[in-house]
Structure 1
């Protein structure tokens, strides 16, 4: 884990202290990890929507779907 120095506005620091239960670092890490998870989820949803709206991608997926169900077992 790395140590960094950040500047917070006084009212933000008071808010952190109110909810941090004595461990500012853990609280801020938890908040940022959740925020990162939400951003990554939103980015994934946007990418999936973009794929769903891309006709070339849909043609390629359809071609792969027809191959995937051809009955060939790669383990044999």
Structure 2
């Protein structure tokens, strides 16, 4: 873990202190980790929507789907 120094507005620091339960670092880390999760989820949804609207990508998926149902079971081991 890295130690950094940041500057906060007084009212923001008061808010942090009110909810941090004596551990500012843990509280801020938790907030930022959740914010990062939300951003990554939104980016993933955007990428999936773009893929769904891309005819080239959809054609490639359809080609792979036709192979996936070819009746071959690569996981089956016969002895």
Normalised to the residue count of structure 2, the TM-score between the two structures is 0.93
How big is the shift at 1:19? 0.5
| Equivalent runs, 1:15-54 vs 2, <5 Å | 15-54=15-54
How big is the shift at 1:66? 0.3
Partner of 1:5: 5
How big is the shift at 1:14? 0.4
Partner of 2:70: 70
> Within 2, Cα distance between the matches of 1:54 and 1:43?
17
Q: Gaps spanning 5+ residues in structure 1: where?
A: none
Q: What is the count of residue pairs matched by the alignment?
A: 76
RMSD: 0.8
> Within 2, Cα distance between the matches of 1:60 and 1:25?
46
